[in-house]
Amino acid sequence: MYKTTRNIAGGAHMRCEVCGHEISMNKICERPIQAATDMLKHMAAHNASRAFATVEPVMRPKPEPIPAGVAPLPPLPALPWIASSPQSPN
Ligand SMILES: [Zn+2]
């Protein structure tokens, strides 16, 4: 999303919150349609990169959230010491 910012010189910019890309207000005033097109293209590029984030190898896949000690547990068919005792330890 673009946000309006001002630099030290007093010039206003529309700054992309995602990547910091800036379009000066002067450019927007001079060529509003061109500037709007650029901004839309820019946001579309961000959206596209987000949409393909799961396919493209640009972003590394996150490691599985399963801890190493949990995954390789052997499948236990039953817990006989619980199933056979009628009394709860509590
Ligand atoms: Zn951007």
Average pLDDT value for residue range 16-40: 91
Protein residues placing their CB within 5 Å of the ion ligand 1: 16, 18-19, 21
Radius of gyration of the chain (CA): 28
CA of 5 to the centre of ligand 1 (A): 14
CA–CA dist 19, 43 (Å, integer): 10
CA of 45 to the centre of ligand 1 (A): 8
* Cα 22 to Cα 13, 26, 77, distances in angstroms: 6, 12, 61
Query: Residue written as tokens 């379009």?
Result: 23
CA of 43 to the centre of ligand 1 (A): 7
Residue 78: band (very low, low, confident or very high) from pLDDT cuts 50, 70, 90: low
Average pLDDT value for residue range 21-46: 91
Amino acid type, 63:
P
pTM over 0.75: no
CA–CA dist 61, 20 (Å, integer): 24
Q: Is the pLDDT of residue 27 over 80?
A: yes
Read off the tokens for 16. Answer: 């992309």
CA of 77 to the centre of ligand 1 (A): 53
Q: Is the pLDDT of residue 4 over 60?
A: yes
